[in-house]
Structure 1
Amino acid sequence: MAKKQKPLKRTPLKRTPLKKKEYNPEDFKNKEYKAKKYKKKEYKVKDYRELKKREPKPFVQLTPKEAFLKLAAFCAYQERCYQEIYVKLKEWKIDEGDHYAIVTLLEEENFLNEKRFAESYVRGKFEYKKWGKRKIRYGLLQKDISEKMIQDAFNSEIDEQEYFSTLAELLKKKWTDLLEKKEDNFKRIVKATNYALQKGYESGLIREILDNISKEQN
């Protein structure tokens, strides 16, 4: 039989009491002592942009069916136009011979409808961003939407009376802000006009509304 080992004897650790540092109050009056003893540590800032860099993911070639399914989800989330679809197809390096078949299938399944896209774009930019027709038209032309389709979208989505009242409300708010800054009348007109032009509204309509506002103020 194996002999039982004797338990090891553990010697208790000797703990020496910590000595408190004694400070002379006169030392605190000495500026050299302060600078020497209590100088702030300087830390070097690391460039974390280098740490964030990652190796690019390996490119995985999609099949036409996989591309169609991804584009269907892309269109279901938000209305899209042809230009956005072709950009995705080129980005995924789908063979150009399959582009027409994929786009046609998206149309047949009602995922892609450029008329619906134009109407949604006009409605969203006017109602939420308060853009004027000039700016909306430019945005749609950049998406390769035809002028006729843009005009049809304006006719169906923008009520002329609401368009006028929206611009009037924007200009009244801007005019009030300029009054608080104590600008003279000419500067107010110039700044309010530039503001409305940047929002995409027509200069004739802006002038008409500003004339009414300035007359009301006088």
Structure 2
Amino acid sequence: MLPSKKTFTLQEATQKMEQYCAYQERCHQEVRKKLETMHMIPEAIDIVMVHLLEHNFLNEERFAKTFVSGKFRIKAWGRGRLVYELKKKNVSKVNINQALREISDEEYNEIFNDLAEKRVNSIKEKNLYKKKKKFVDYFLYRGWESFLVYDKANELIK
């Protein structure tokens, strides 16, 4: 006998999604995928999504700001990586730009400079070219602007 798929009523699904969204900020795409894994029909998904939006459980602008703030301050991602990851989550350009404006240029440069100092001291490579490459690769992967990275690499690694 095949294991039966658990089915949810509209009310159960709505309640479950309210808890899911209350636990942490979610983007529309995450919630829609979660509802699909619960085997909800498209009409039911739309009803639940509208309910979550109307009751402010789901707010893409708030999600984008929280995402940018967390990934920037905790993981030290640059603007490029932040934009890339938000686009992957289908967040609108307007919300992405608004979220990025939350980071001041002073704070952005300060975090970059602190991170660059720590990083250059942690690379044990003796060959200057290899050391520079490791430094540059580290920051480019994290989405920092190439002109910032190369200028800092040339300044710190001589």
TM, length-normalised to structure 1: 0.67
Q: 1:60 to 1:200 in 2, by over 3 A?
A: same
The whole-number CA distance in structure 1 between the counterparts of 2:101 and 2:65 is 10
State the partner residue of 1:210: 153
Structure 1 stretches of 4+ with a deviation exceeding 4 A read none
C-alpha distance after superposition, 1:87-141 (max 9, x if no partner): 1111111121122221111111110101000001000101111111111111111
Q: CA deviation at 1:74?
A: 0.1
Structure with max Cα Rg:
1
Is the contact made by 2:78 and 2:144 (CA closer than 8 Å) also made in structure 1?
A: yes
Point out where structure 1 has 5 or more consecutive residues left out of the alignment.
1-55
Deviation at 1:164, TM superposition (A): 1.1
Q: Which runs of 5+ in 2 are unaligned?
A: none
Note the 1:1-218 alignment, pairs <5 A: 58-156=4-102, 158-178=103-123, 181=124, 183-214=126-157
Counterparts of 2:106 and 2:131, CA distance in 1: 25
Contact in 1 for aligned 2:125/2:131 (Cα 8 Å) = no
RCO higher in structure (CA 8 A, sep ≥6): 2
Q: Distance in 2 between matches of 1:182 and 1:80?
A: 41
Matched length: 157
Tell me which protein shows more helix as a share of its residues. Answer: 2
Residue identity opposite 2:73 in structure 1: E
Q: Percent identity?
A: 33
What whole-Å deviation, never above 9, does each CA across 1:149-185 have from its counterpart, x for those lacking one? 11110002x111111121112221121123xx35132
TM (normalized to structure 2)? Answer: 0.91
What RMSD over aligned residues (CA atoms) do the two structures have, in Å? 1.7
1:212 is displaced (CA, Å) by 2.8
